[in-house]
Structure 1
């Protein structure tokens, strides 16, 4: 008597639990690859952004919360200290951008001249050490360096005869802003250096040989060969440096605390004052929305400009 046996369908990876899991992963490969990233994106970015926007529409002064969409934003544009923070942030961010990218270019050019690859790598590693230092430590270090009584800067200047007595750098609005800009630039020079050094090493040597054959001077070679090829690197270094400096908090807060008299109070410190010290987190959220919106608008416009310029270069 013949016996018929029923055999279930078996996937390409065989039967059993392991084969079943492998078949499911193979059939849902997009979900498997993108799922964790999408969940992380939602938890880290989308949900906090939605909550930030929602809190910015709440009146949190006093007890409880009330939904008043225009309340906090009306306070923003009517507060003179807000515009002072905006001005300080612009001065701080663009000052850091100019100094860090300019100094990064000089250091990158010097490193690119080194023939010994091991020596170049060693110097590059040493430069990156300053990038690894926490920003709060950078701020405290620079605060002590420019201390009016015990600072090493005053000590050196007095020994050189430049100053007769110690100068209180952080008590003057102009010098305090210069100090925090220099401190921020110092922490961002390594990034600009590495980006620009990579751009320099990507320039074909044939271009320099052709310029030398044509009798071009060092300045002419730098202007007509080096700078045009470095444009993409300048774009990347400039945008990222400005974005981080525009949102900077640790260095100006740990160096001056926003003083003297609000002279170095950036938008990040302004947000901290209202959100943490005064517990007016609805207003602080509104200022944060403004900060993020400006950053995104500038970044989008900058990238659009980059793409347009790159197309012109390719043409």
Structure 2
């Protein structure tokens, strides 16, 4: 009788410390599997987000901190340099979006034409090398390339006779923004190309065969077959590319630093100027909240639009 009672206290994994641990893990499997992820989510996302929102409600201008919820947000909409940063950010992000997705489509179409899988994989790997370069290195490299005195771009244009003297690309307002857009696009083209290439390879070959039988030209096939099937890939590549470009800091900061005269100062550089250089981290946090809020609203609306379009395609 005593033996039976003793045996009833032993779990399915036996007695001892290891057995009791195994029984506890088996009884709390959800906690074991989700616990580390939830802790990491709290540390990496939830806690910083809450602290960012709290700091945005503090007046940190000058000495000390005071709780003034409307102070920083009122300053945002009355500061003309803020709206200049918003305008620059929109130009920068949408310019990068159009260039990177457009060039990515051209590269994806070229790669899709390759019949040898080994050759296609080789070119794909080489394209991805530019995506692996840190963004700060990309910015420094492009700053050197477009240097007004020693840049390789000026040297090439002078040798070709397209320039009669050196040109200061990064200190001229009309060209500085174009340079950082090209630099950002160069770093994001591989991602767009890979996403679009995956979309191209998922198109059934029967659709192209049917278009050929109907006598469709190459342009008609591209417009009526390729583009409709590529819509989901365009949506994914466009959204992710825009989100990263909208919040970009490394390339604009390392290339122009926001100059000349604020011509390339994006919201990320604006936040850095107030939070790091001027130590007004309350106002910088408020701008960061605005930046995150705009990104979330656009992303949510974009995803909703994608779902609506997908339902129309399925119907």
Q: So what's the TM-score if we normalise by structure 2? A: 0.98
User: Which residue in the other structure is 2:12 paired with?
Assistant: 12
- In structure 1, C-alpha distance between the alignment counterparts of 2:253 and 2:137, rounded to whole Å: 11
User: Which residue in the other structure is 1:136 paired with?
Assistant: 136
- In structure 2, C-alpha distance between the alignment counterparts of 1:213 and 1:25, rounded to whole Å: 62
User: Which residue in the other structure is 1:81 paired with?
Assistant: 81
- In structure 1, C-alpha distance between the alignment counterparts of 2:106 and 2:238, rounded to whole Å: 15
User: Which residue in the other structure is 2:201 paired with?
Assistant: 201
- In structure 2, C-alpha distance between the alignment counterparts of 1:47 and 1:207, rounded to whole Å: 50
1:218 aligns to 2:223 (yes or no) = no
Q: CA deviation at 1:4?
A: 4.5
1:56 aligns to 2:36 (yes or no) = no
User: Which residue in the other structure is 1:283 paired with?
Assistant: 283
1:1-315 matches, within 5 Å, as 4-5=2-3, 6-9=5-8, 10-315=10-315
- In structure 2, C-alpha distance between the alignment counterparts of 1:25 and 1:198, rounded to whole Å: 40
Equivalent position SS for 2:244: helix
Q: CA deviation at 1:171?
A: 1.4
- In structure 2, C-alpha distance between the alignment counterparts of 1:36 and 1:296, rounded to whole Å: 26
Q: CA deviation at 1:117?
A: 0.6
Q: CA deviation at 1:250?
A: 0.4
- In structure 2, C-alpha distance between the alignment counterparts of 1:4 and 1:69, rounded to whole Å: 68
- In structure 1, C-alpha distance between the alignment counterparts of 2:174 and 2:27, rounded to whole Å: 63
Note closer, same or farther for the CA distance 1:216–1:64 as it changes in structure 2 (3 Å cut).
Answer: same
- In structure 1, C-alpha distance between the alignment counterparts of 2:279 and 2:162, rounded to whole Å: 46
Q: CA deviation at 1:17?
A: 2.2
- In structure 2, C-alpha distance between the alignment counterparts of 1:76 and 1:82, rounded to whole Å: 7
- In structure 2, C-alpha distance between the alignment counterparts of 1:220 and 1:23, rounded to whole Å: 64
Equivalent position SS for 2:155: helix
Equivalent position SS for 1:115: coil
- In structure 2, C-alpha distance between the alignment counterparts of 1:14 and 1:196, rounded to whole Å: 54
- In structure 2, C-alpha distance between the alignment counterparts of 1:230 and 1:22, rounded to whole Å: 49
Equivalent position SS for 1:128: helix
Q: CA deviation at 1:19?
A: 2.2
Note closer, same or farther for the CA distance 1:97–1:17 as it changes in structure 2 (3 Å cut).
Answer: same
- In structure 2, C-alpha distance between the alignment counterparts of 1:76 and 1:244, rounded to whole Å: 22
Structure 1: gaps of 5 or more residues: none
Write out per-residue CA displacement over residues 90-140 of structure 1, whole angstroms, 9 at most, x where no aligned residue. 000000000000000000000011111111111000000100101011001
Equivalent position SS for 2:302: helix
